[in-house]
Structures are given as C-alpha cells and as structure tokens.
Homo-oligomer: A and B are copies of this chain.
C-alpha cells in the first residue's frame, strides 16, 4: 500500500541490515563485523557502497573502527541502534500505518486481537 514511495538507497539498506543484525543480537557488542570487501562480495555490491553504509553507522556511534583491523560493534551499540530506529519508526512509519488503517477502515480491536494470534508460541 505504498504509493510511489521511492526505494531507499542501497547503502542505507545495508546500514539497516547491519542494524537489524545488531538488534537481533546476531552481532554482539565487541564483535568484529565483516570487512568492507567481504560484505561487498557477499551482497554483490561495490565496496564503496558498503564503505558508505559503515561510515553512516560509525557517525551515529553504532559501529567503530580500528585502522587496518576492521569495524567493530561498539559498547552500547544495540541501545543506540534501538533508539535511532525507534525514533525513525515513530516519526515516519507509524503515521503512514495509521493512515493506511484509516483508509482501509481497520478497527484497532482487530489488530489487538490478531496481535497474539498468529504466533502464540513465539519467544
């Protein structure tokens, strides 16, 4: 239900991907994340593009680097990523969803009911 929403650029998608891994605790604090070149090969993307994604995340304090060694998940990275992503969600995604709900005349009670239904055995 997205009308002409532009696709987000590749480097931001990569940054999101790294964030997601951190939020899922797949990459924990202190871990070394894949090198620029390795991730570029894995994602079939130019190293510069990965570089840009990493630079973006470093600037936000989510990852840090050691010259000649690699990039690392820094302390408090998960908390920072969580804060940033939550802010984005509440600011951009949620209003869009509320609008959709209204357009589709979806009752809030339906959602509340569905919320626990589909995966009752979740973690």
Contacts and interface: CB of A to CB of B under 8 A. Distances in A.
Contacts of A87: 123
A93 B122 CA distance: 14
A95 interface: yes
A98 B111 CA distance: 10
A23 to B, nearest CB: 5
Main SS at interface, chain A: helix
As for how many copies of this chain the complex holds, the number is 4
Contact of A10 (B3, B13, B44, B97): B3
A116 to B, nearest CB: 9
25 contacts: A1-B16, A1-B17, A1-B20, A1-B88, A1-B89, A2-B8, A2-B13, A2-B16, A3-B43, A4-B10, A59-B59, A82-B104, A82-B105, A85-B104, A86-B104, A86-B106, A86-B123, A89-B100, A89-B104, A90-B114, A90-B121, A93-B100, A98-B115, A98-B118, A108-B112
Interface of A: 1-8, 10, 13, 16-17, 20, 23-24, 43-45, 59, 82-83, 85-91, 93-95, 97-98, 100, 102-106, 108, 111-112, 114-115, 118, 121-123
